Amino acid sequence: MGNQSGNTSQAGVIPHSLFTDFDINLFKSGKHFRLYEKLGAHVIDHDGQVGTYFAVWAPNAHKVSVIGGFNSWNAEEHVLNVRWDSSGIWEGFIPGVEPGNIYKYKIFSNENGQVLEKGDPFATLWEVPPKTASVVWDINYEWQDKSWMEKRAEHNALDKPFSVYEVHMGSWKRKFDQGNESLSYVELADELVDHVKKTGFTHVEFLPVMEHPFFGSWGYQITGYFAPSSRFGTPQEFMLLVDKFHKAGIGVILDWVPSHFPDDIFGLINFDGTSLYEHADPKKGFHPDWESYIFNYGRNEVRSFLISNAIFWLDKYHVDGLRVDAVASMLYLDYSRNEGEWIPNQHGGRENLEAISLLKELNEEIYQSFPSAQTIAEESTAWPMVSKPTFVGGLGFGMKWMMGWMHDTLEYFSKDPIYRQFHQNDITFSLNYAFTENFMLPLSHDEVVHGKGALIERMPGDEWQRFANLRLLYTYMFTHPGTKLLFMGAEIGQTSEWKHDHSVEWHLLDHDPHKGVLQLMTDLNHLYRSEPALYELGFGSSGFEWIDLSDHTNSVLVYIRKGHNPDEYLIVAANFTPTPHQGYRFGVHANKNWKEIFNSDDKKYWGSGLRNKGVIKTKKEACHGREYAISIDLPPLAAVVLKAK
């Protein structure tokens, strides 16, 4: 395996290592979770010379060179030294190589004489696509978010409000006067932060920012796992964006993709002429849905790579959480596969034991090292205890997307209100399992692409009814147990489905119905954040109580939301038809006076303005198994929220 001494200088390369024997042992055992401090390109001062230390894992190579503009891409000038310890790591110091220099690794494989040119799996910056070289870069940054980081546990706690604005960075807003260009990190630090702040979301979530060659993958086909995309600026400029969010009191969540990677030849695939990062057997290593490659979760060095990558974003970029993409595809060996196309585990089952082990270890490491962070699973099956701690047998995530709620709710809302009386169970079914996990309610990007249309397009009726339905959907979402996630554009009632190469249709805010939706979303976020009954017990059955879920004739639901203080609860009454109900009566527990604090039919939202003004008095009359009752005016296609005076 080439030069075994690790001490003999190759052409132009000075022997040097950042690895200790302990590092190597951790790496080999799959327990090194700070690999980004060792592998990759690191600008250092070595014996008075400034240059770059390079280290890359390529165990099946007999020679590895660093090539770049600094050596005219000559593979003989800077040949790395292979370590003597069978780790498969090639390393060395090259004087004079500095930030901004582009480079690749030229790998001479032992496998069939292959010669490969690869980007650095640990590069912290890449050239702007479609160029494919890595860039030497120093990611030091003077953070100014100390106050946020010290108080982050309060913002990220499971009994605090958690309202997420999901963003595709490249299409949130475009510069029409400059060739439809995307905003840069610096521009987003002004405009996006301001919008999220004004609209009242507690967190922003970015579709993957990690470098990806194909813009149309939305970031889910990653080649540069340790680099924010250079399309929008430098690493420090992305850090500035995170910093600005933190100073505005807003958390930052990144989508993270450990489930697969693309087949771009300069990337991870066939890295040293063998299946190094991917599983060699296509029945376990090839993803039929996305025509991509699945990581070898049983290989220790790959486990170190993946967990190190998750830790990297929490450590170096101060992000507050990771939403882990496509968890279901990792958990099941037969995911999207027919009989005979998958290999059972050692017990004959369909569970991917290696991936399960990885996810548990990932969450354990994150919550041990960054206890105030959160991990969120996009998991679409009934896999048990996804958001339960590993010590009780769970996967260890903080939250899980409630995909069933999203599907059932949108299906229900798409029906003409005249038929909703026959589908009452569809809108209430989520409460049968709402407290089995720490659920987040998503209305995500996946619901407004691939011909599904915009949310407003899926609402039935005339224009007024469609907007009323949308406002009712959002109000139901924000008063339903669980945290919240809304994709960009939905907050203004965008009328066309999302396209990654077009901007959100901000011009719609020239029209009153869309202004009304934005005002409603702003007020819903304020209501959610200001009323502990809507978030303190959002994951527990003690935070929710039905008053009436059986009035299917009128398609009305009435329920209670409760927080830690049993005396400060809210009542929500929702009318899913366009027929208003004057004097609608339902039972309450206590002899209190009530006040309407929110109404999605308010005229400022472009509603009809049927309000309950003044004091709503309780009467001593039995109703719904309760001793008292109140009567309210229930507006059409709307929900009202009541609070005791």
Q: What does the alpha-carbon distance between residue 136 and residue 126 come to, in Å, rounded to a whole number?
A: 8
Q: Which of 120, 237, 378, 447 is catalytic?
A: 378
Tokens of 188: 């987003």
The DSSP result for 150-192, as a single string, is HHHHHHH-TTS--EEEEE-GGGSSEEGGGTTEEPPHHHHHHHH
Residue showing tokens 């005339």? 462
**Helices (H), strands (E): how many in the chain?**
12, 29
Catalytic status, residue 325: yes
Q: What does the alpha-carbon distance between residue 252 and residue 271 come to, in Å, rounded to a whole number?
A: 32
Q: Are 307 and 258 in contact (CB under 8 A)?
A: no
Q: What dihedral do alpha carbons 347, 349, 351, 357 form, nearest 10°?
A: 0
Q: Are 637 and 567 in contact (CB under 8 A)?
A: no
Q: Which of 166, 320, 325, 437 is catalytic?
A: 325
Q: Are 134 and 103 in contact (CB under 8 A)?
A: yes
Catalytic status, residue 378: yes
Name residues whose C-beta falls within 8 Å of residue 408's C-beta, 6 or more positions apart in sequence.
Answer: 426, 427, 429, 430
Q: What does the alpha-carbon distance between residue 530 and residue 628 come to, in Å, rounded to a whole number?
A: 27
Q: b/e for 325-358, b at 16 or more Cβ within 10 A?
A: bbbbbbbbbbbebeeeebeeeeeeeeebebbbeb
Q: What does the alpha-carbon distance between residue 443 and residue 572 come to, in Å, rounded to a whole number?
A: 21
Q: Are 224 and 119 in contact (CB under 8 A)?
A: yes
Single-letter residue type at 416: D
Give the H/E segment covering residue 287. Answer: strand 286-287
Name residues whose C-beta falls within 8 Å of residue 162's C-beta, 6 or more positions apart in sequence.
Answer: 156, 202, 203, 399, 440, 483, 484, 535
Cα angle 568, 573, 577 (rounded to 5 degrees) comes to: 165
Name residues whose C-beta falls within 8 Å of residue 176's C-beta, 6 or more positions apart in sequence.
Answer: 503
Alpha-helical runs (H) found in 332-376: 353-369
Q: Are 559 and 544 in contact (CB under 8 A)?
A: yes
Q: 538 to each of 62, 88, 487, how far by Cα in Å?
A: 57, 49, 21
Where in the sequence numbering do the catalytic residues fall? 325, 378
